A = this chain, B = another copy of it.
Amino acid sequence: MLGSDYAGQDCSIARALEVVGERWTLLIVRDAFLGVRRFNDFQAHLDIPRAVLADRLRHLVEASVLERAPDPDDGRRTVYRLTPAGIELWPVLFALLTWGGRHGRRPATRRRFQHATCGGELDAHGRCPRCGVVPGAADVITMRVPGPEQREDPVSVALRAPRRLLAPLEHAA
């Protein structure tokens, strides 16, 4: 039961969960899609112990989902950004988001997702009904549906405005 591998499970779902199945990992990847790149910003938004965050980030870098790069604002620091393989996790996140919005046991703030090219609102399959394409994450604009504010950390506040996925968030926390 310990560890994150599924050595005896010979299927691609198990292979994916070995990379992204640990607690908090997919929420870190979600934040990376929303443009979070700095350790302190992940930490402010996720509110988890720094050691847990560091462990999950290291695992994601080792698995080539995230890559480290110098912070353009401060070369002594590091940012984490999604690799091409990481960006391919978008359908996983969108499917979880769709399901959680319909069947989660508690309400959650909703987000809308639009195709940046034409403004079409993505359907439950992540498809733009206007164009018929399934846009990649870089062509998706997300905006928060107004509702009761539940988090007031600086990253949550910064993420309320409409934004294009993968566009780097300015330093927030």
Spell out A's residues near B (CB within 8 Å): 1, 4, 6, 8-19, 21, 23, 26-27, 30, 46-49, 52, 63-65, 85, 88-89, 91-106, 108-111, 124-127, 134, 150-151, 156
Given known contacts A1-B52, A21-B23, A98-B91, A15 and B106 CB-to-CB distance under 8 angstroms: yes
In the bound complex, do residue B10 and residue A108 qualify as a contact, i.e. CB atoms below 8 Å apart? yes
Number of this chain's copies in the complex: 2
Q: How far is the CB of A105 from chain B (nearest CB, A)?
A: 7
**Cβ-defined contact, A8 with B151, below 8 A:** yes
Instruction: Find out whether the CB atom of B104 lies under 8 angstroms from the CB atom of A1.
Output: no
Contact in complex: B16, A99 (CB < 8 Å): yes
Q: Are A8 and B91 in contact (CB under 8 A)?
A: no
